Structure 1
Amino acid sequence: MSYIAIKKIKEKGSEITLYEIGYEFGKFLKPKNIRELKTFFRKNNLGILEIESRKPFILKVRECAMCGGLEINEPICYFDAGLLAGALECILNKTVVVDEIKCMGQGYDACYFKIGVVNNNPTISEY
């Protein structure tokens, strides 16, 4: 069912809508730290959230509920990416962009999300 829904969304060019919905939901959760976010993922059967690396900042979701068991050609976990972006903005108090770089549906062991921190307020000393 997930695959058919994602396929239709992609046909309509609405992947960004899923990201935006996830983003708003992630902000709504207002997690205080990564541990709370990990617990939320586990308790709600979204998968097992782990930190894969810190530089670059990459989060990994094993047993992903969105794409587990699918066979696809590209990452499709737009909602999860948005949810992580919204939640991480609450945790880090910074604007972030989250991009899924590997997806379980593509045959990887987990979904991998690269986190980019956006610098909203550059100062003269940063140039």
Structure 2
Amino acid sequence: MSQEKVEIYSTKKGIIAVDSPVKNRILQKLQERELSFEELIRVCGKAKSTMSVHLNDLLKMGLIYKRVDPVDRRKKYFGINSDLIVSSSPPVTLHYIKILNTVPSFKGDKYGFLRSLFHLIRCGMESYGIDTRPALKKIGHDVGSMLAPSFKSSKLPDLLNEVAAFWKEQGLGKVHAEMGVFPTIIVEDCFDCGTLPDVGRTECSLDEGILEAIIEERLKVKCSVDEIECHGTGHDHCKFEVKIF
């Protein structure tokens, strides 16, 4: 697994991931404007032979185009022929590599292996710049809708106590709720993000969706559940705020 920054482009040939620092530098500069061969050498600081190899690779992949100066045919210009879709996130990439290296240690530990696999898939996608949070929240909402009939309470405090018991039984974490103007749900030892380093954003979108759907289905209300603190924001717990409309 490369630790270099990965950028993913859409081309006529399909989706292409680029992890070469030199190639990404070339593509970055060509997004600004068309450049000549000589200009690319200057901005990338590489020898002519090295630049030729990288440009030929990018041409073959369909990421860039080349045109000849109509006045001076010895002069070549290059431009971008693709669209940048996503760019990797270094903190998540490093965490992805860390998890990947620990996978063999979970041999024989079904729970540990499945947990690492779940984290690996999510962090792997995010390491390539794909924001999984919107889709995970929608999936979580679907899951919550299926689980809601198994809960009995029709009042929020009682329902959150049921949720706490469910979370504990399923190994998702230790939950307690605090009632206030906006009730909050606090999760310790969170299955979803418990091993995540500070990546500067909340990560428990799946939990947001599950909680939101359970509350809506059981209480017959519209609500939003938003994570406001997370291991991903440097906290030692997850905290969700519940707003009922």
Q: Taking structure 2 as the reference length, what is the TM-score of the superposition?
A: 0.44
**Partner residue of 1:123?**
none
Larger Rg: 2
How far does residue 15 in structure 1 lie from its aligned partner after superposition?
1.6
4+ runs of 1 displaced by more than 3 Å? none
**Is residue 2:180 matched to residue 1:54?**
yes
Which has the larger helix fraction? 2
Match of residue 167, structure 2, among 41, 47, 64 = 41
Q: Percent identity?
A: 28
**Is residue 2:206 matched to residue 1:89?**
no
Counterpart AA for 1:16: P
- Aligned CA RMSD, in angstroms, stands at 2.0
Distance 2:229 2:120 in 1: 16
Consecutive unaligned residues in structure 2, runs of 5 or more:
1-115, 153-158
Counterpart AA for 2:139: I
SS, match of residue 212 in structure 2:
helix
Equivalent pair of 2:189/2:237 in contact (CA under 8 Å): yes
Consecutive unaligned residues in structure 1, runs of 5 or more:
119-127
How far does residue 109 in structure 1 lie from its aligned partner after superposition?
2.7
How far does residue 9 in structure 1 lie from its aligned partner after superposition?
4.8
**Partner residue of 1:25?**
143
How far does residue 28 in structure 1 lie from its aligned partner after superposition?
1.0
Q: How many equivalent residue pairs?
A: 118
How far does residue 54 in structure 1 lie from its aligned partner after superposition?
2.3
SS, match of residue 131 in structure 2:
coil
Counterpart AA for 1:110: H
Counterpart AA for 2:203: I
